[in-house]
Amino acid sequence: MKSPGLNSPVPDAFFLQPCLELAPQLLGKRLWRRQGKVELLAEIVEVEAYLGERDPASHAFRKTERSSVMFERGGACYVYLSYGMNYCMNVVTGKEGVGEAVLIRAAAPIGALDRFYKNRGLDRSKPARLLMNGPGKLTQALGIDLKFNRTRYGEGDLAIVEGERSYSKADIGRGRRIGISKATEWDYRFWVKGSPWLSRKET
DNA sequence: CGACCGATTGACT
DNA sequence: GTCAATCGGTCGG
């Protein structure tokens, strides 16, 4: 039996919650993306929370031109270029003026995989788990780039929509964020326990 | 304006 | 496990 509202956009109030409360709730939600005539879906399985001025690892630690989108009203999309090579996508959370966002690190592809392989430039002989098991791979698979920065989820060709289920605390793993050099001890990463689509093996 | 540095990835030992 | 690619953001001079 399917959940009511499957694949319908999440309500606006969802984005207004505090970042650390919202982040685990994002697990099981889906990214919806219309790319030309094709509609793409992927279920979020791994995220990281980035707070504002009290989080040295966050781009919003200082309010700059780049990070200003993180201070917008929850539901904004923050995309930035990482290492000059990959795009990373975030869900801005909280009320306007609060500089918080959730980085989407990994997702499970839903439906036909052809477009995902094509967007990734991956040969079909490669395992599907390589399609979205990292923040840069995820954006590439979905065709997300800087054009989406400062747009709002649910207003264009990109949305966060309801999935088939939400995960309880027992189903969610929690640990340190990956790839940062500051505040490395903070457990702000959340993932779906046992998912084969994570960016790395669970430890 | 020059220098440094990443919220990463893929190729390679 | 190691390491280079690559470039916009940020900051110091």
Residue with tokens 């979905």: A142
Strands A101-110 and A38-50 come out as antiparallel
Closest nucleotide to the alpha carbon of A182, via C1': B7
Instruction: For residue A153, give the nearest of A60, A15, A46 by alpha carbon.
Output: A15
- In Å, what is the separation between the CA of A200 and the C1' of C12? 38
For A154 and B13, how far is CA from C1' in angstroms? 47
Q: Is the Cβ atom of A189 within 7 Å of strand B at any atom?
A: no
- A182-198: per-residue pLDDT in tens? 999 999 999 999 999 99
Answer yes or no: are the C-beta atoms of A87 and A139 closer than 8 Å. Answer: yes
pLDDT of residue A2: 72
Q: Which of residues 66-125 of A touch strand B (CB under 7 A)?
A: 70, 78, 81-86, 88, 90, 101, 103, 120
Mean of per-residue pLDDT scores for chain A: 97
Which nt sits closest to A78, CA to C1'? B7
The burial of A172, by beta-carbon neighbours within 10 Å (0-12 exposed, 13-18 middle, 19 or more buried), is given as middle
CA A65 – C1' C12 distance (Å)?
18
Query: What is the average pLDDT across A113-134?
Result: 97
At residue A203, does pLDDT exceed 90?
no
- With CA of A179 and C1' of each nucleotide, the nearest comes out as B7
Query: What pLDDT score was predicted for residue A1?
Result: 72
0.95 surpassed by pTM: yes
Is any atom of nucleic acid chain B found less than 7 Å from the CB of residue A184? no
What does the pLDDT read at residue A3? 77
The arithmetic mean of pLDDT across residues A107-129, rounded, is 97
Measuring alpha carbon to C1', the residue closest to nucleotide B5 is A83
Mean pLDDT of A59-77: 97
